[in-house]
Amino acid sequence: MSACETSRVDFAGQNGRPRILIVGAGFAGLSAAKHLAKADVEITIVDRRNFHLFQPLLYQVATAALNPSDIAYPIRSIFRKQRNVASILLAEVVGVDCQGRTVQLEDGECLGYEYLIVAAGATHSYFGHDEWRKHAPGLKTVEDALDMRRRIFDAYEQAERYPDLASEYLNFVVVGAGPTGVELAGAMVEIAVHALRQEFDRIDPGQAHVTLVEASSRVLAAYTEPLGKSARRQLEELGVEVRTDTLVTEISERSVVFDDGSTLPTRTVFWAAGVQAADLMQELGSDRDRVGRVVVQPDLSLDGHPEVFVIGDAASVTSQGKPVPGTAPAAMQQGRHAAEQILADLSAKPRNSFRYRDKGSLATIGRARAVAQLPRLHFSGVAAWLAWLFVHVFFLIGFRNRTFVILSWAWNYITFRRGARIITKVGSGREK
């Protein structure tokens, strides 16, 4: 990082206003920037992508219900009218020098700051089996979603071409029964049973078999036990085979092996089992937990560096003694909290500890199937599904995106079909 000392470039103006550098425009970074809208500061936002992605609906892109641009919104458009956003850069941060108060971009350029907000998010964790990545992609980026979509629909095409291998191609496996795994498994059954009905000549898509594998004893472990059981029952009613207490010990191109020694022949495995913090967290020189998240102070700043905040999925945060979940609402609350601490500093007021307010959780399973865990009310089925629809549309950014998502859902609901069922070739989400 020493290169930065001599060639420091100050993007924000030199007019004495504090420069706030936000790394990542996910839910956490966006929320921080918005809550600083009226502050007398100069904000720079750096992201590897030109858009904010509404990740909770990414599985719907993977299952051809929505288009990528329905759930993505250009970062520049979001801040078009926020005047203290001095610069938005499509770039990757590769290093942080907390002593020198600079970050380094992938092309060597350095940005100075008075405040740094790191909201770089998370990626998949294969628990030491990175060789599985190739056969069992996860779902974090638009490219991941398009890759999944290609794999799902291509499996049916290959089964049609090679009926001898149909049983292999029509076995789908999802590893991990958290919200993403549950949503993916449910949607994949609906594709088999409804969307592809009557369209193949040599195979019956309805014969496809979706297996949801979970290492723990429960589906949706973050929910109450009755809701987890309800989710499991709803999945099984759809036709998903749920295998709890089951570990995956091997994933290859043509099969998955479980810890009971059994082998499931399959060409399509998706990974929804584990996440780890972005690699950038290693650059901060702070304590990290076992999944790489930076352990932050109660006010979300770094130990010894009150001017650096780490928020969102990249941070290990506790509130009232309990770990804060890696969800969009928690990330937004953390973004707001970091912004408020900076505003407190600027008006010479004391800082506060972050306190997570759990407003509830919703997970959808399929058509008119979901579970809802609100602070005082737990329910499932159609009501939970309607709540889920409403909340997700409400939090989407932009009138156009909301309109198109509502229309797509209405069309899907009425016709049982999927509007984005095209197989395209996608670049890897990992390379530049």
Closer CB to a second copy, 46 or 264, in the complex = 46
Binding status of residue 403 toward a second copy by CB under 8 A: yes
Binding status of residue 50 toward a second copy by CB under 8 A: yes
Q: Residue by residue, what is the 3-state secondary structure of 291-308? A: CCCEECCCCCEECCEEEE
Binding status of residue 198 toward a second copy by CB under 8 A: yes
Task: Pick the piece of the chain touching a second copy (CB under 8 A) from 49-57, 122-130, 291-299, 346-354.
Answer: 49-57
Contact 65, 418 (CB under 8 A): yes
Closer CB to a second copy, 394 or 399, in the complex = 399
Binding status of residue 201 toward a second copy by CB under 8 A: yes
Binding status of residue 254 toward a second copy by CB under 8 A: no
Of the candidate residues 92, 114, 143, 204, the single one contacting a second copy (CB under 8 A): 143
- Closest Cα partner for 227 from 322, 366, 362, 388? 362
Binding status of residue 397 toward a second copy by CB under 8 A: no
Binding status of residue 89 toward a second copy by CB under 8 A: yes
Q: At what angle do helices 328-346 and 27-35 cross, to 10 degrees?
A: 30
Of the candidate residues 10, 114, 160, 358, the single one contacting a second copy (CB under 8 A): 160
- Structure tokens belonging to residue 220: 């949706």
Of the candidate residues 5, 9, 40, 76, the single one contacting a second copy (CB under 8 A): 76
- Structure tokens belonging to residue 375: 């602070």
Closer CB to a second copy, 158 or 318, in the complex = 158
Binding status of residue 51 toward a second copy by CB under 8 A: yes
| Smallest gap from residue 61 Cβ to a second copy (A) | 10
Of the candidate residues 10, 92, 114, 154, the single one contacting a second copy (CB under 8 A): 154
Lookup result for tokens 């609402």: 329
Binding status of residue 165 toward a second copy by CB under 8 A: no
- Structure tokens belonging to residue 372: 């809802």
Closer CB to a second copy, 100 or 419, in the complex = 419
CB atoms within 10 A of CB 413: 12
The catalytic position among 42, 92, 160, 183 is 183
Binding status of residue 378 toward a second copy by CB under 8 A: no
Tell me whether residue 17 is exposed, middle or buried, using C-beta atoms within 10 angstroms of its C-beta: 0 to 12, 13 to 18, 19 or more.
middle
Contact 109, 102 (CB under 8 A): no
Residues in the chain: 432
Please indicate whether residue 157 is annotated as part of the active site.
no
- The CA-atom distances, in angstroms, between 164 and each of 159, 160, 191, 432 are 8, 9, 22, 39
Q: At what angle do helices 399-415 and 382-395 cross, to 10 degrees?
A: 150
Binding status of residue 9 toward a second copy by CB under 8 A: no
- Structure tokens belonging to residue 195: 């969307």
Of the candidate residues 400, 406, 413, 416, the single one contacting a second copy (CB under 8 A): 400
Distance of CA 255 to the CA centre of its chain: 26
Of the candidate residues 3, 17, 74, 100, the single one contacting a second copy (CB under 8 A): 74
- The CA-atom distances, in angstroms, between 340 and each of 16, 48, 324, 337, 349 are 20, 26, 19, 5, 10
Binding status of residue 419 toward a second copy by CB under 8 A: yes
Binding status of residue 80 toward a second copy by CB under 8 A: yes
Binding status of residue 88 toward a second copy by CB under 8 A: yes
Binding status of residue 407 toward a second copy by CB under 8 A: yes
Closer CB to a second copy, 73 or 309, in the complex = 73
Closer CB to a second copy, 98 or 420, in the complex = 420
Which residues does residue 110 pair with via DSSP β-bridges, in sequence order? 104
Size of the site for a second copy (CB under 8 A): 53
Of the candidate residues 37, 91, 94, 295, the single one contacting a second copy (CB under 8 A): 91
- Closest Cα partner for 366 from 346, 378, 382? 382
Closer CB to a second copy, 90 or 383, in the complex = 90
- As a whole number of angstroms, the distance between CA 134 and CA 372 comes to 34
Question: CB within 8 A of 277, min separation 6: which ones?
Answer: 120, 121, 122, 123, 288, 291, 292, 293, 294, 313, 314, 315
Binding status of residue 69 toward a second copy by CB under 8 A: yes
Q: Which residues bind a second copy (CB under 8 A)?
A: 49-51, 64, 67-70, 72, 74, 76-77, 80, 86-91, 142-143, 146, 153-154, 157-158, 160-161, 196, 198-202, 400, 403-404, 407, 411, 415, 417, 419-429, 431
Which residues carry out catalysis?
183
